[in-house]
Chains A and B, each alone.
Chain A
Amino acid sequence: MMKSIKTWILVVLASSLLVACGQGGGGSGSKKSKTLDNTKKAGFVKCGVSQGLPGFSNADASGNWTGIDVDVCRAVAAAVLGDADKVKYTPLSAKERFTALTSGEVDVLSRNTTWTLSRDADIGLTFVGVNFYDGQGFMVRKNSGINSVNDFKDGISACTNTGTTTELNMRDFFNSKNIKYEPIAFEKADEVVQAYDAGRCDTYTTDKSGLAAQRTKLSAPDDHKVLPETISKEPLGPVVRQGDSVWEDIVRWSLNVMIEAEEYGVNSSNASSLKDSENPAIKRLVGAEGELGAAFGLDNEWSLRIIEQVGNYGEIYKKHIADTNILPNRGPNQLWTKGGILYVPPAR
């Protein structure tokens, strides 16, 4: 009986996986990468992004996606296809994102996704790095008289998104403080903003970068403030399917070279002129020394294209996060040499 129920149940969603199978993925650990081959054949990188989070992945009025999460996909496209614009974006809700990735609908998920053990180990995903170090915080009305998380009392109502780590962190936090709270979880961020704006809840909790970005959507952003405390670690980064290690490496190093480029002062405007630099690390970054691309089956100028077309990490942070006033201060997202925690393995 149990067996037959299981069989029937498997049938239900089998079709989606069948489609995915046709599109590749499921590769073995060999040098060949099915995802890379398919991407080259299709002529674009299939990239999963958010449904709209300013600074990270957000579509403007004419439908162009921008943000630091978007730039990870653009970097991959520049490395693999030679053109950063050859990306097909799929907006995904928090709930859909992992299924979209494992089923092959997208090949890179770059959607402010927190790297956790269970996600990495349990559901067929691999996190390739961190492009933003974040932490969960709370936003309240300025006139509420709440100046710290220690001012929360029994009966507080908190709005957030469903299907994210914030729901779990919120519980851990309120439990540790022994506070009874009312959790109100919406599927989409826009509804959270509206409900909080209408006064349905006393506080809005999500990643601090998210709070800063969503605050701009409130009817009177200046009436609200983000509390100083951070209640969790939220390393956000791009994710790929498990099982295609070449593709995994391409995405990982596309991100890493952007950070390394900032470290060595290589940016979009000076990159090509640094080909005859004295520093071998810089020469490797701009493809003038070594054969780094060959390791992934790419040519040697893959990293130069990333830096020229997308920019180094400092440039994209300034463009999307600092200049848009979301988080002008880089905080932990500063290079390790300048007091932050951005530290990537050397590209050599």
Chain B
Amino acid sequence: MSNKNKDLIPQVLTVLFIILVIIYFTINAQNNMGNRGISFGFGFLSQESSFDIAFSLIDYDGSYSYARAFLVGLLNTILVSVIGIFFATILGVTVGISRLSQNYLISKAAEWYVEIFRNIPLILQIFFWYFAALRALPLTIDSINFYDISFLNVKGWYVPRFIWTNFSLFFYSIVTAVILIFFLSKYAKKQRDDFGKQIPTLYISLGILLGLPFLTFLLGGVTLTFKIPELTQLSKTIYVYQGGVTIIPELISLALALSMYTATFIAENVRAGILGVNKGQKEAAASIGLTKGQILKLVVMPQALRIIIPPTTNQYLNLTKNSSLAAAIAYPDIVLVFAGTALMQTGRAIEIISITMLTYLSLSLSISLFMNWYNKKMAIKEK
């Protein structure tokens, strides 16, 4: 028997064993469900859900199907994850760089922030921000007023609603601007590489990004008006703002808690990344006359990113998965809406939990794929 076969046999046996175990569990589950009179199927997804959800990015009420309720939950999960990732990244990078600051006060403050927030369980932080916010915010009648257009109170943050005409034209103008900027940066890079000419890309890009949509207002008949939330009295002491867009306190506190918590880990990644770049690199860059900003942007960051990206991907995944703690404070994410209410209503535990698990798996894999792509782009290119 050749060596190759010797290696192969244990592997084949292992795979066979795993398959047998899976088959055994499957048959067992089917038998048990049969015995207990539990049916299996996904037909319930098209049934009317008959429960309402407080916060939804798409049209929804109880007359829609369970599948639609699933979609509402999924979008809410994605929304809070995207907001969380955005702020966690900004905060994390800022704190990470601050920890390396020469300024004692700044670096100590950053260190304290990291040590406090990463060592308290996330669920407690979520409760803290939620109930602290609820207790601290005023009732609707005494709302905190931002220039009479936006209002903050215990029931949420009320902002004006945008009312567009010819929105599609405006949208396409932004798409065009982005495409133009893409080609501009290619052109600028070529100019720099071939002739050593520096083109102020940033200012031109900003000009295009603001100018083009602005033109559609002047020439294309695009208009934008605002509907400012109005205070309505419901009873002697109950008031509510209506007409605007409501950002519910559950979303605010969940996003806040997730970003504050995850930022601590990202900050440490950033610090490690920057410290991981050889000191000689910075000195060499300084010796050829680059400014401090240029050193950071052109020499340190490209190398640091290679160290920062892989562990930060993990943090993005964690944040997305941690968003499932939303159920504790009534933010209608996929776990609360689908694996909570819908599961209760239908009693289809196996189906619903499986769908929810597969959904998180797909979300996480998508983030991984994107970050791997970005990491490859940033990796050292052998020339």
Contact = CB atoms under 8 A, between A and B. Distances in A.
Interface of A: 6-15, 17-18, 20-21, 25-26, 94-95, 98-99, 102, 118-119, 122-124, 141, 143-146, 151-157, 159, 162-164, 167-168, 170-172, 175, 181-188, 191, 194-195, 198-202, 241-243
Contact of B26 (A10, A202, A243): A10
6 contacts: A95-B340, A155-B234, A157-B54, A181-B52, A182-B54, A185-B340
Interface stretch (B28-36, B174-182, B254-262): B28-36
A98 B348 CA distance: 10
Nearest to A151: B235
Interface stretch (B219-227, B284-292, B325-333): B325-333
B26 A184 contact: no
B240 A155 contact: yes
B350 A21 contact: no
B155 interface: yes
A247 to B, nearest CB: 13
B72 interface: no
Interface of B is mostly: helix
B353 A13 contact: yes
Nearest to A123: B347
B58 interface: no
Contacts, number: 175
Given A163-B344, A191-B328, A156 B32 contact: no
Size category of the binding interface on chain B:
35 or more
A187 B249 CA distance: 17
Interface of B: 22, 25-26, 28-30, 32-33, 35-38, 40, 50-54, 62, 131, 134-135, 139, 154-155, 232, 234-238, 240, 242, 249-250, 327-330, 332, 336, 340-341, 343-351, 353-354, 357
B29 A10 contact: yes
A187 B328 contact: yes
B232 A155 contact: yes
A237 B274 CA distance: 63
Contact of B28 (A8, A18, A191): A18
Given A12-B357, A145-B236, A163-B341, A243 B36 contact: yes
Contacts of B332: 185
A184 B25 contact: no
Contact of A187 (B30, B234, B340): B340
Contacts of A183: 51-54
Contacts of B353: 12-13
A153 B26 contact: no
